[in-house]
Amino acid sequence: MYTPAEAVEETGFSLDTLRYYEKIGLLERVDRNAAGQRRFSEEDIGWLGTLRCLRETGMPIATMLRFAELVRAGDHTVPDRIKLLEEHDRQVQEQIANLIERQDYIHHKISYYRSLL
């Protein structure tokens, strides 16, 4: 079990973000201690790792939410989860290709400026 501060440390999300994710249903009702303070399970931390990966690769919250719902709905949604991740993977691939192309332009621009010195 992780205290809120530990969960922040482990996941890299701010505490406000963790509460927000719980509020909107990205994170299922997190356990509480007697005083009502959150105690994140190992599983929560793992799931937050997945969320972090999706988020950092640009998946919108709404799509993450759909994914979360699929996960909650049980094993029969595995094919749908694959579809969702594959689609996302394509978008990540596009992002990478786009960045590399634009980076090339930036390199040319830098070279050009260097040639002026």
Partner DNA sequence: ATTCCACCTGGAGCGTGCTCCAGGTCAACC
Partner DNA sequence: GGTTGACCTGGAGCACGCTCCAGGTGGAAT
For CA atoms 97, 101, 103, 107, the dihedral sign is: positive
| Least distance to DNA, CB of residue 4, Å | 4
Determine the distance from the C-alpha atom of residue 101 to the mean position of all C-alpha atoms in its chain, rounded to a whole number.
25
Q: Which residue from 19, 45, 66, 81 is in contact with DNA, where contact means CB under 7 A?
A: 19
Site size for its own copies (CB under 8 A): 32
Cα separation, 92 vs 82, in Å, equals 15
Exactly one of 23, 50, 65, 68 binds its own copies (CB under 8 A); that residue is: 50
| 10 part of the interface to DNA, by CB under 7 A | no
> Is position 17 an interface residue for DNA (rule: CB under 7 A)?
yes
Q: Which of residues 92-111 bind its own copies (CB under 8 A)?
A: 92-93, 95-96, 98-100, 102-103, 105-107, 109-110
3-state secondary structure of 51: helix
Residue 66: which residues within 8 A CB-CB, separation 6 or more? Answer: 84
Asked if 33 interacts with its own copies (CB under 8 A), we say: no
